[in-house]
Amino acid sequence: MSELLKITGLGKSFGRHPVFEDLNLRLSEGKVYGLLGLNGEGKTTLIRILMGVIPACKGQIHYKDSEVFFRSAAYKEDVGYIPEDPFFFGWMKVGDLIEFNAGFYPRWDAHRAADLLKRLSLDKKTRVKTLSRGMKLRLSMAVALAARPTLLLLDDPTSGLDVPTRHDFLQGIIRELADSGTTVLFSTHLVHELERIVDHLFILHRGRIILDEGYEAVKNSTRRVRLAFPGDAPQTLGVEGLLTESRDGQRMEAVVYPWSEEKEKKIEGLSPLRLDVEPLTLEDIFRSFVAG
Amino acid sequence: MFKRMLIKEWKEKSGLFVFALVALAVFVLALSAYSKDKETVDILASTAFLVFLPVFSILLGASGFFTEFQEDAWAYLFSRPVKKGNVWIAKYLSLLTLLYAVVLPFAFLARLHPALESGALSFSFRIVGDLSFGVLAYILPLLLFTTAFSFSILSEKVYIVAFLAASTLIVLQIAVSWAGILLFYRTWSYSVFSLVYLLSLLIPLSFALASLTTVSRADFSQPRLRSWTFTKRSAIFILASIVLMALIGFVGGKLLRERYIYSLRARIDALYFVTEKGFFKFDPAEGRTRKIAKSPSSWGEISMGGDKLAYVQYHLRVSGRDFAGLRIMNSDGTQEKPLVGTANPESPFYGVYFDSVCVSQGGGRVAFIARNRRKATPQGIWMIKSDGTGPRGYDLGIPDVYYDYILGFGDSDRALLLLCVARANAVDAQGRQVARLLRLDLESGKAETLAEVRRTWFAFVPGERGMSEAERLAFIQYNEATAREHLAVYDSETREITQVYAEESVRGFRWNKARDKLAFLTAGSRLGVYSPAEKQVVKMAELKGYDLRWPSQALEWTADDRLILRRLEGKTSSMCILDANLAEQKSIKLPFDTFYASRFWSTGQYAVVEDTEKHELWGADLTTDKWVRIY
């Protein structure tokens, strides 16, 4: 699979407050990427930089092997963007907004726009300022998808959607897009929702990418171990890759990444009375990664 | 994209547009209702063009990015596949079309509505050359709109943006105007002056470029950073504009410098004149011109008497006040020194300007009028000795008087002859005004009225003003009984006023060098010569084929008392020499073509004429009839 987007050494700060430094990411075609991070870690900032809304302080972005700059515009014909809080011109009607956007995108698919409006229950004659947040998100989706993007950037878009729409969006639209070759970078705080659709995970924490791995690989190589000892539990399990570790008298619990048989044997060497090794949900994995 | 932006901007600002159309309709209705009341029409037009359109332009511009600030819509717009600079340009052009959809109907209305016919407006703007009201009506909204639109990226608070933009533009335009004036004083070139004014368009352009590049390159999400970036770039572009203006000003000043002969005094033994390059003397005996002083005068008046030459020199200061100095030197340029100046707040001349400078016949005294710039400083007649001592002001005790000008010294420099008018004295339809010819006794300080003269403003000009040889004074006065302009002569020795010629109106006159013959031209194209000694007209002749425009300039005496007249055939002018019997002796073609009524002077054996187009001085040696270029 060829590389679609490459971010190298990206840095951004607001005044004297650095948001992230030396960020490196690579996105390949046709995959769904999850971008996870706590609030304020810079997920929205990163996506806004990728959309050319704000400039980066340093680093490079390459799209399809061509470097893109803050001033660049042409690459955005390929990129759809659904922000967390959709911002439109309130005085426009839904139909006006669709028409307005059609002028910017050469691959604009009017039929698809009409289909999406219908599917998302949007009336062309409704004025944008009267739409609820959820409806604005739907409109945002319609605008982004009607442009037939090669890359879709989603900035925590599902939080305002009702459950059926969210389900339709995630399982229907996003999966459908990915299957048709569209690359999706999905930033969300509703981590569990990614579980069903994500191919690859990024975790942005304290200004750095601390996880850049395929979802299945992460899921298969992250384990929670629960131990019980006859006496006091040891100070540490003493294995590499401990994401979390806690002791409570004779009991001990830890999350290990990456998990391996060697590590399991080493832990067994501590002679616990009981040793339970279990996989984690994505939410637990995320929590473990950012816990430290 | 541009089409979409155009539609978007027009829809967004449709309220403002409708408001402007309503205002236009109200304006039309009001004009039609009050079309015969010129004062009301003026007020309406002033309100429309000087208040409504500028304010509309500023508000429209200041609201440029208003909707983009609402709910962060700028981020939405900037995430579209279009360059941010293009967004700025598209918005600017879209709103510009809206602006001119309002301005043009107003401007056309100003040309087409009967109440605003050409010339009907009493307020008119003459910026430079032909840049008049009409152009201003088109350009001013553009300048204000461009500046306000450029500032609109700073905040969604439209009124604050409008105030900031308008005040910044006004301050900078004033600064540029001053730069223009400074350059003008340096180069004395109206072309440079005009150029600088036109270059003041660079200020809104600088803001526009700063705004455009800020949008294109700066982080729009950070208001402080955005403002700082805009301020920095504005400063850079404005600085670049100033440098460009200065460069063009200096280079243009060199290339476009217009040469002027500011002042010229012809004596029997020499011709003195001042140009932008200095003070020059032409010696007819040698046939040579020499520079005898470096730029002694900046536009100031020159007067000569005895061996002295007094003049006014202006200094323009960057602080915004211009000062003048009355200075004196010998006629060979030596011993140049100041007499009085206007820069010292302690001086009675602080804030005044010097007018009607006149050196006495012997060169020992200088008289001048100190005119008030500020009401607190009264105007006055002043006298000072040539060595700078004994300044004395004269209060003539005439209420509400305006000292028109000093004609000269009389009574062997014991008296001053001057002309004054009552401030309330209106000029009649023919341009005549009642003036009083005064004699001021310089010792006693008492003034007496020699004559009440109803005369046209040019009756004493040229040739008489500021001349020290005013022992005999000629003047034209209107006689209501005969409805003619009579020529009269005042003899300061006998203090008599003699009527010279009353058969028909006299249009111009000229004394000979010895001041014992007075030539005059009548309305009936007759040339006469009056002899004060004989108290009668001694010669009279009909003139045919001579160019008698500007009659007082059409005459000159040669050093040997022959008369010079001008003839114009097509574009060719000739200098005609008349003998003692007023018969044409010879005609010498001027060395240049001109339609203008060139004036002649004479010095020694030379008759001198100025090419007013090329600003050259030419002298014809009347013994050989050959021309030499004096300057």
Long-range pairs, A209-215, Cβ under 8 A, ≥24: A209/A23, A209/A24, A209/A25, A210/A289, A210/A290, A211/A289, A212/A24, A212/A25, A215/A34, A215/A282
- Identify the sign of the CA torsion A236, A237, A243, A246: negative
Cβ contacts (< 8 Å) between A73 and chain B: which residues?
81-84, 86
Chain-centre distance of CA B265, in angstroms?
Answer: 22
Contact between B518 and B498 under an 8 Å Cβ cutoff? The reply is no
Per the prediction, chain B carries an average pLDDT of 81
Q: Which of B1, B70, B71 sits opposite A103 (nearest CB)?
A: B1
What are the CA-CA distances from residue B341 to residues B263, B324, B349, B350 (Å)? 21, 6, 7, 7
Q: Residue B621 and residue B267: Cα distance in Å, rounded? A: 16
Between B578 and B332, residue with greater pLDDT: B578
Instruction: Please list, residue by residue across A235-268, b when 16 or more beta carbons sit within 10 angstroms of its beta carbon and e when fewer do.
Output: eebebeebbbbebeeebbbbbbbebeeebbeebe
B264's enclosing H/E stretch is: strand B261-266
The CATH 3.30.70 portion of chain A extends over 221-291
Residue range A3-213, CATH number = 3.40.50.300
Rounded average pLDDT over B129-140: 60
Per the prediction, chain A carries an average pLDDT of 87
Q: Highest-confidence range of B170-184, B190-204, B291-305, by mean pLDDT?
A: B170-184
Cβ contacts (< 8 Å) between B76 and chain A: which residues?
83, 86-89
* pLDDT confidence of residue A7: 92
Which phi and psi (to 5°) does residue A267 adopt? -70, -40
Rounded average pLDDT over B263-287: 86
CB-based contact A76 B12, cutoff 8 Å: no
* pLDDT confidence of residue B230: 93
Rounded average pLDDT over B119-130: 41
Q: Which of B8, B70, B80 sits opposite A90 (nearest CB)?
A: B70
Cβ contacts (< 8 Å) between A103 and chain B: which residues?
1, 3-4
* pLDDT confidence of residue B335: 87
Contact between B4 and A89 under an 8 Å Cβ cutoff? The reply is no
Q: Residue B153 and residue B84: Cα distance in Å, rounded? A: 12
Nearest residue of A to residue B216, measured between CA atoms = A71
Q: Residue A138 and residue A126: Cα distance in Å, rounded? A: 13
Residue A194 has pLDDT above 50, yes or no: yes
Residue B145 has pLDDT above 90, yes or no: yes
Residue B275 has pLDDT above 60, yes or no: yes
Nearest-5° Cα angle at B192, B190 to B195: 110
* pLDDT confidence of residue B461: 43
Q: Rounded to a whole number, what is the distance in Å from the CA of A162 to chain B's nearest CA?
A: 23
Structure tokens at B246: 């200065």
Helical H segments across B126-285, by residue range: 133-151, 158-187, 190-199, 202-217, 223-256
Give the tens place of pLDDT for each residue, A139-161: 888 888 888 889 999 888 877 67
The DSSP string of B430-485 is TSEEEEEEEEEETTT--EEEEEEEEEETTTTTTTTTT-S--SEEEEEEEETTTTEE
Rounded average pLDDT over B442-465: 69
Residue B463 has pLDDT above 50, yes or no: no
* pLDDT confidence of residue A92: 86
* pLDDT confidence of residue B56: 92
* pLDDT confidence of residue B122: 41
* pLDDT confidence of residue B627: 92
The strand pair at B484-491 and B572-578 is best described as unpaired
Banded model confidence at residue B211, pLDDT cuts 50, 70, 90: very high
Cβ contacts (< 8 Å) between A75 and chain B: which residues?
81
CB-based contact A89 B85, cutoff 8 Å: no
Q: pTM (2 decimals)?
A: 0.65
Residue B393 has pLDDT above 70, yes or no: yes
Q: What one-character DSSP code corresponds to residue B627?
A: E
Contact between B124 and B111 under an 8 Å Cβ cutoff? The reply is no
Q: Highest-confidence range of A49-63, B111-125, B393-407, by mean pLDDT?
A: A49-63
Banded model confidence at residue B464, pLDDT cuts 50, 70, 90: very low
Structure tokens at B29: 């209705």
Cβ contacts (< 8 Å) between A12 and chain B: which residues?
none
CB contact set of A115 (below 8 Å; sequence gap of 6+)? none
Amino acid (1-letter code) at residue B180: G
* pLDDT confidence of residue B297: 47
| Residue entry with tokens 């470097």 | A67
Q: Rounded to a whole number, what is the distance in Å from the CA of B89 to chain A's nearest CA?
A: 14
Q: Residue A167 and residue A158: Cα distance in Å, rounded? A: 9
CB-based contact B81 A77, cutoff 8 Å: yes
Nearest residue of A to residue B7, measured between CA atoms = A100
In CATH, A221-291 is 3.30.70:
yes
Q: Residue A253 and residue A245: Cα distance in Å, rounded? A: 6
CB-based contact A103 B3, cutoff 8 Å: yes
Which phi and psi (to 5°) does residue B324 adopt? -125, 150
Nearest residue of B to residue A100, measured between CA atoms = B4
Nearest residue of A to residue B14, measured between CA atoms = A91
- Identify the sign of the CA torsion B292, B298, B303, B308: negative
Cβ contacts (< 8 Å) between B220 and chain A: which residues?
53-54
* pLDDT confidence of residue B58: 93
Nearest to B442 by CA among B358, B516, B350: B358
CB-based contact B221 A48, cutoff 8 Å: yes
Cβ contacts (< 8 Å) between A14 and chain B: which residues?
222
The CATH 3.40.50.300 portion of chain A extends over 3-213
Nearest residue of A to residue B12, measured between CA atoms = A91
CB-based contact A71 B84, cutoff 8 Å: yes
CB contact set of B384 (below 8 Å; sequence gap of 6+)? B326, B339, B340, B365, B366, B368, B390, B391, B392
The DSSP string of A226-273 is EEE-SSSPPS----S-EEEEEEETTEEEEEESS--HHHHHHHHTT--S
* pLDDT confidence of residue B128: 37
For residues B283, B284, B288, B294, the Cα torsion angle rounded to the nearest 10 degrees is: 30
Range from A61-65, A84-88, B159-163 carrying the lowest mean pLDDT: A84-88
Which phi and psi (to 5°) does residue A49 adopt? -65, -45
Nearest to A25 by CA among A17, A14, A36: A36
Give the tens place of pLDDT for each residue, B495-550: 888 888 888 888 888 888 888 899 999 988 899 999 988 989 999 999 888 888 87
Q: Which of B81, B218, B225 sits opposite A105 (nearest CB)?
A: B81
Which phi and psi (to 5°) does residue A68 adopt? -110, 145
Rounded average pLDDT over B282-305: 79
Contact between A183 and A27 under an 8 Å Cβ cutoff? The reply is yes
Cβ contacts (< 8 Å) between A69 and chain B: which residues?
none
Residue B316 has pLDDT above 60, yes or no: no
* pLDDT confidence of residue B123: 43
Structure tokens at B311: 């003049």
Residues of B in CB contact (< 8 Å) with A are: 1, 3-4, 7-8, 11-12, 67, 70-73, 75-76, 78-86, 216-222, 225
Rounded average pLDDT over B37-66: 85
Q: Rounded to a whole number, what is the distance in Å from the CA of B54 to chain A's nearest CA?
A: 27
Cβ contacts (< 8 Å) between A76 and chain B: which residues?
79-82
Residue of B219, B220, B226, B229 to mutate when probing chain A, most A C-beta within 10 A: B219
Residue B608 has pLDDT above 90, yes or no: yes
Q: Which of A14, A53, A92 sits opposite B222 (nearest CB)?
A: A14
CB-based contact B81 A71, cutoff 8 Å: no
Which phi and psi (to 5°) does residue B575 adopt? -100, 120
Residue A105 in contact with partner chain B when CB distance is under 8 A: yes
CB-based contact B70 A100, cutoff 8 Å: no
Residue B176 has pLDDT above 70, yes or no: yes
